[in-house]
């Protein structure tokens, strides 16, 4: 545990530890998009042999795009929250000219002719696509990828957004697009120690994303911090004529508060005493609660209704159908 904490402290000291910090480096012209790309390609070279998070790495395309962004730094760098930020996309997001195979041999060699809407949004903001990340087959009940956990490749990264969470957790990208139909954002985020926001249904467009269960699918992005998650959410959310589920919700950007006057719900469950899972994880959850309380966060203990299990069963019936 001490070794892991030491590694995390060392990584957090990097000038490129978060989107927000990297954005400041780019705005001050202390680094160019091409230099930033070289940093992350070197990191991928160092880590991905063990983790296997990347299904397709577009090195040449990323280098060409980075050179274009180098020429645009004065015009865009200070205006876009995601200018020059390297990212990856789960292999169910269509990406023009690149393979989109859904983690399946059925679509092996399939080249997308258009982008998913969120890829277009990132592109318009000057974000830098590195390539495609592994997924459980069709983000559903198929074969899981041979991807390892960011902190210990011998352990699972969770799924179905396996490569996306592992890539961010291992510092091979500053953000990565994923999806959730059942637990495919929250689970791998927890397993790899990264941040994710599963937004309200319809907040972020699903257009151009291979569906798992269209009425349950959500798009999200893995980052390192809550601040970064807010930056990415504000970039991705909003109405999209290609996805009518986004048209009925008003666009409301996230605003972070400096005061920690938040209320966090704590679900009463034997898990937190080590009864429903690993005792070390249960103890870590209790420590996290103490840390939140120490920052002024209000903790409210809640008990799930008996009908909650019925809701879960209904969810899986819809998803499987």
Give the domain ranges of the chain.
15-246, 263-320
What's the angle, vertex CA 159, arms to CA 112 and CA 306, rounded to 5?
A: 125
CA distance 220 to 175: 10
Mean pLDDT, residues 15-33 taken together: 92
Does 154 score more than 70 pLDDT? yes
Among this protein's residues, is 90 annotated catalytic? yes
| Active-site entry in 112, 161, 184, 205 | 184
pLDDT band at 10 (very low <50, low <70, confident <90, very high): very low
For the domain made up of 15-246, the CATH class stated in words is alpha beta
What phi and psi values does residue 207 have, to the nearest 5 degrees?
-60, 130
Q: How many Cα atoms sit within 13 Å of 265 on the Cβ side? A: 6
Residue with tokens 């015009």: 75
Q: Is residue 224 classed exposed, middle or buried when 0-12, 13-18 and 19+ CB atoms within 10 A define those classes?
A: buried
pLDDT band for position 92 (cuts 50, 70, 90): very high
Active-site option among 32, 117, 160, 161? 160
Positive or negative, the Cα torsion across 104, 106, 111, 114? Answer: negative
Most confident of 36-45, 281-290, 295-304: 36-45
State how far the Cα of 217 lies from the Cα of 201, in Å rounded to an integer.
8
Report the alpha-carbon angle 189-197-114, nearest 5. 95
Summarize the confidence of residues 275-281 as an average pLDDT. Answer: 69
Residue linked to tokens 């011998």 = 154
Do 212 and 181 contact (CB within 8 A), yes or no? Answer: yes
Specify the higher pLDDT residue, 293 or 282: 293
Cα(127)–Cα(231) distance, integer angstroms: 12
Would you say residue 273 has pLDDT above 70? no
- Hey, what's the torsion of the CAs at 191, 187, 217, 254, to 10 degrees? -80
Active site (annotated) includes residue 117 = no
Residues ≥6 apart with Cβ < 8 Å to 219? 118, 177, 178, 179, 204, 205, 206, 209, 236
Tens of pLDDT, residue by residue over 159-199, are 999 999 999 999 999 999 999 999 999 999 999 999 999 99
| Number of Cβ atoms within 10 Å of the Cβ of 101 | 23
Instruction: Tell me the average pLDDT across 55-77.
Output: 90
Would the pLDDT of 79 be above 90? no
Between the alpha carbon of residue 67 and those of residues 18, 61, 122, the distances in Å are: 22, 10, 17
Active-site annotation holder among 90, 132, 198, 206: 90
């Amino acid at each position: 545990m001490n070794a892991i904490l030491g590694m995390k402290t060392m990584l957090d000291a990097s000038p490129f530890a978060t989107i927000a910090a990297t954005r400041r480096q780019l705005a001050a012209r202390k680094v160019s998009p091409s230099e930033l790309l070289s940093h992350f390609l070197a990191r991928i070279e160092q880590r991905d042999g063990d983790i296997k998070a990347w299904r397709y790495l577009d090195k040449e395309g990323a280098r060409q795009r980075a050179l274009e962004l180098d020429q645009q730094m004065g015009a865009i760098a200070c205006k876009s929250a995601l200018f020059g930020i390297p990212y990856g996309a789960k292999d169910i997001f269509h990406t023009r000219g690149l393979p989109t195979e859904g983690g399946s041999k059925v679509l092996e060699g399939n080249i997308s002719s258009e982008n998913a809407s969120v890829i277009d949004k990132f592109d318009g903001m000057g974000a830098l696509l590195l390539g495609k990340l592994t997924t459980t087959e069709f983000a559903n009940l198929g074969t899981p990828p041979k991807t390892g956990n960011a902190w210990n490749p011998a352990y699972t990264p969770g799924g179905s957004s396996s490569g996306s969470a592992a890539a961010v957790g291992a510092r091979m990208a500053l953000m990565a697009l994923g999806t959730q139909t059942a637990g495919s954002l929250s689970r791998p985020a927890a397993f790899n120690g990264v941040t994710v926001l599963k937004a309200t249904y319809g907040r972020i467009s699903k257009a151009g994303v291979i569906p798992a269960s269209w009425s349950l699918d959500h798009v999200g992005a893995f980052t390192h911090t809550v601040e970064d998650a807010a930056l990415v959410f504000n970039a991705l959310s909003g109405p999209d004529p290609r996805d009518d589920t986004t048209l009925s919700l008003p666009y409301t950007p996230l605003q972070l508060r400096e005061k920690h006057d938040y209320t966090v719900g704590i679900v009463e469950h034997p898990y937190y005493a080590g009864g429903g899972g690993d005792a070390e994880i249960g103890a870590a959850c209790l420590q996290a609660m103490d840390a939140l309380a120490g920052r002024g966060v209000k903790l409210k203990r809640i008990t799930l209704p008996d009908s909650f299990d019925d809701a879960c069963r209904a969810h899986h019936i819809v998803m499987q159908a």
